[in-house]
Chains A and B, each alone.
Chain A
Amino acid sequence: MKSFLGAALVLLAASSPVLAASALNNDTEVRVLVVTEGSKQEELVIAPGQTVQFCFSSCFVTMPDGDRFALSGNEVIEISGGRARIK
């Protein structure tokens, strides 16, 4: 009985995924990402070693070295050496 309840709860929890992109700054200096979400464009400042969650639906991101990416949520971005990589 308990396992049945547990299984039901697991299904419930699993059916709602967490959608947010996150960026991790592996450098020793502050990096700035330009995030365009909806109709707004804003700068996202990430301190060294910090992980920030942003972009809950979909957005465009411009990296410090000029690369542009379109994110649809759930991606993990790692910044190292000024270059960004998406996992």
Chain B
Amino acid sequence: MGEFASLIHNENIKIFRRLRTWIMLVLLALMSALFPALIHFTTNGSNVVGLWDSFRTTVTIAFFLNTIFTALVAADSVAGEFTWGTIKLLLIRPWSRSKILLSKYISLVIFSLVSTGVLILFGYGSAFIFSSGAAGISGDMVMGWGQGEYVFMLILCSYIELFLTAAIAFMISSVFRSSGLAIVLSLSIMFTKDIFIAIFNPDRYEWANYLIFAHMNLSNYVVSDTGPGGATLGFAIAVLAVYYVVFMAVSWIVFRKRDVAA
């Protein structure tokens, strides 16, 4: 019944043939390139910012944009087909709904990797040009990590956060078939999770340890053995994994069963 790879190819075309996607990638590239320059020109001579510090700051800021854009793509992945009405033509091919949804999810992950790649490439390139020397004010080592290693651990943590936000957007897109709702809900989780942790502090409430909010940002564990509420890295990863499996299961079950009467 044909090649599964061609399904992924189809989904990639739907993402990368849209002008919107290219606008997002260009914006992301511009922003990643701009921040090291801004940092360079706004600091005076006595306070030199090194390559890795400049890059780290850029990554932290640019990942917000990266997460928003990936959530946008995730939100449109299923809901877009319903809005356009093309879902009716897509689902009457000799492919099971599960495989069609899987191809959509894989193409979403590919997009997130491409956009993260753009961010790293332009951010590092610009930081390399607009910085003076490898060492900056923070010295050579951060908590036992080399400077470069430390930044790439932060990128990994940020990517995990993005990955989960995209999974939430994808699930809502599949369940409610509304891209607006998917964007709003997934991003509000991203932006309000710190407030949530402040209110339902895992140090005070035992059950708050099992909320996804407390663990989405794993970057604490790069510099410390314990996170919020004294949780270990293993525990945090286990909680995230359970949430991720639930998100995926809900997406698949609903997409397989639901009547398509748009």
Question: Is B a genuine binding partner of A?
Answer: no
